[in-house]
Chain A
């Protein structure tokens, strides 16, 4: 009797764990099926080479490039903000700051990632854009610059927390050896500790990039809804995620080509983040082995 009960419990726990496999399977099949239907109407060649994305207009073009450059542009701006600040924070907290300061400041920094993204969108549109317009007079009301900067602030803790963990895991005798040679803390940090923790730092950067590419509300609110192939950060653009939101807000018929565009856009986004996540997982596994 007891054995049967134990077995039933084990199997139901296993079922819960299997749901996670079902989710992945569900995501991939839903995206693949709808994208397949999409590509039976739109040539895949046009999808990757056409420079216009106008599925909601009468003159329809289905070129993903404008959405892709929009996504990469905002992510690039965000990483340019988050990387130097996040890395400096992690080095400061791990190599310079007193323990008590580190313990209080880390949860506070993580609060930056806990703020709902729609709130950051408000921040970008209502506070940052008007402020930047005073410095750059021809900055448009919707632009990738302020959306990217605010997104960068949001992902600072992604870079700083994980990098700090990696730096902190570097054995103390490496530091002592360096100090013993007369190096300063700064020299030790950049010539010894950072190289030793490089894989962990790279993982944190990849995850932050993946987070930036998938971020939706900030860009949907502050970057505009005008897909265009440009690297100019002062004009309105549209990202893949913002396009999905734009279509979802309208009244689009199920089974129409407009409905399928969001899945075609979605699978493009998924492939990008999937590759980045897999890469970071690989590096993390390798790095764990190195230290154990």
Chain B
């Protein structure tokens, strides 16, 4: 075999290796989801969703944890969505090209890389202790809002950047002010991209466990929260709690709760991808 053939062979081998690598992660994900479905699917019924947690595995349900997750999702959206989009709009439309905005940019890029558990420590000290909110849904939502703020800001900036300048110029030419241009032209034009980013950020918040454990969310709550200052649990913490128990029945419960958590996560990701595709088509 001469060196040309050898090189061609290597080239083909790497191609096969590349396909194997690309598929291996996905195959593992499929195996894993299949395994979870086998373990947990027969456990899911209406009473599993509507029952309170219990010491007996077969009587336990996810009602309080699911309600806690829904509360967290709603409050986090209310807090993080307006602040994140506003900050993104400021950075992209107002604060450009000065040293201050460069500082903001470095800062946001750094915040995006801070481990989520550190946000938990921040929330524990500031929201739980200093602001005296206790281990409440509100304290948890504020903590998660800070965590996903950088993601929303970056997504907002990216989609605003994609709006062609001709749209802004046309609006100014008709006598619109800067804010009128942003509100009536730029934001509607970039809405799909912003929404995609916000939904992805929220799906991250729904799956977060560590910062909420640090803030003091409970593994066992007898009631679903009824106001923002109530104690709470969330699905991932309920799953974590069930995984740490040795009895067999709880592993089934954990698998069943994982199915529901994954369902929520994948639905949110699906919606986000849908918005992204719809929005991309519009600009091409």
Q: What is A's interface to B at a CB cutoff of 8 Å?
A: 2, 5-6, 9-10, 12-14, 16-17, 19-21, 23-24, 26-27, 30-31, 34, 84-85, 88-89, 91-93, 96-97, 105, 107-109, 111-112, 114-119, 121-123, 125-127, 153, 156-157, 184-187, 189, 207, 210-211, 213-217, 220-221, 241, 244-245, 248-249, 254, 262-263, 266, 269-270, 273-274, 276-278, 280-281
Contacts and interface: CB of A to CB of B under 8 A. Distances in A.
Given A121-B243, A214-B117, A245 B87 contact: no
Contacts of A12: 86
Contacts of A215: 115
A109 B22 contact: yes
14 contacts: A10-B179, A16-B82, A20-B104, A23-B149, A27-B118, A27-B119, A89-B18, A89-B21, A92-B18, A114-B207, A118-B239, A127-B32, A153-B25, A221-B240
Contacts of B106: 281
Contact of A216 (B111, B203, B210): B210
A93 B11 contact: no
Contacts of B114: 27, 214, 270, 273-274, 277
Contact of B15 (A92, A105, A217, A274): A92
B249 interface: no
B122 interface: yes
A221 B243 contact: yes
A16 B90 CA distance: 8
Given A34-B125, A115-B262, A186-B11, A217 B110 contact: no
B126 A186 contact: no
B8 A112 contact: no
Nearest to B259: A119
A20 B107 contact: yes
B90 A14 contact: yes
A266 B122 CA distance: 10
A114 B203 contact: yes
Given A27-B118, A107-B273, A248 B179 contact: no
B18 A19 contact: no
A120 B91 CA distance: 36
A116 B203 CA distance: 9
Contacts of B28: 153
A244 B211 CA distance: 10
Contacts of B194: none
Contacts of B32: 123, 127
Contacts of A266: 117-118, 121
A119 B82 CA distance: 30
Interface of B: 7-8, 10-11, 14-15, 17-19, 21-22, 24-26, 28-29, 32, 35-36, 39, 82-84, 86-87, 89-91, 94-95, 103-104, 106-111, 113-122, 124-126, 129, 146, 149-150, 153, 177-179, 200, 203-204, 206-210, 213-214, 216, 219, 236, 239-240, 243-244, 251, 254-255, 258, 261-262, 265-266, 269, 273
A126 B251 contact: yes
Contacts of A121: 240, 243
B117 A216 contact: yes
Contact of A122 (B29, B243, B269): B243
B149 A118 contact: no
B232 to A, nearest CB: 15
B270 to A, nearest CB: 10
Contacts of B7: 184, 186-187
Nearest to A113: B204
A12 B179 CA distance: 12
A115 B29 contact: yes
**Most B-side CB within 10 Å, residue of A17, A210, A263:** A17
A46 to B, nearest CB: 22
A28 to B, nearest CB: 10
A30 B125 contact: yes
Given A85-B24, A277-B109, A30 B126 contact: yes
A105 B22 contact: yes
Nearest to A149: B28
B273 A122 contact: no
**Most B-side CB within 10 Å, residue of A9, A91, A107:** A9
Given A92-B15, A221-B244, A241-B210, A112 B126 contact: no
Nearest to A14: B90
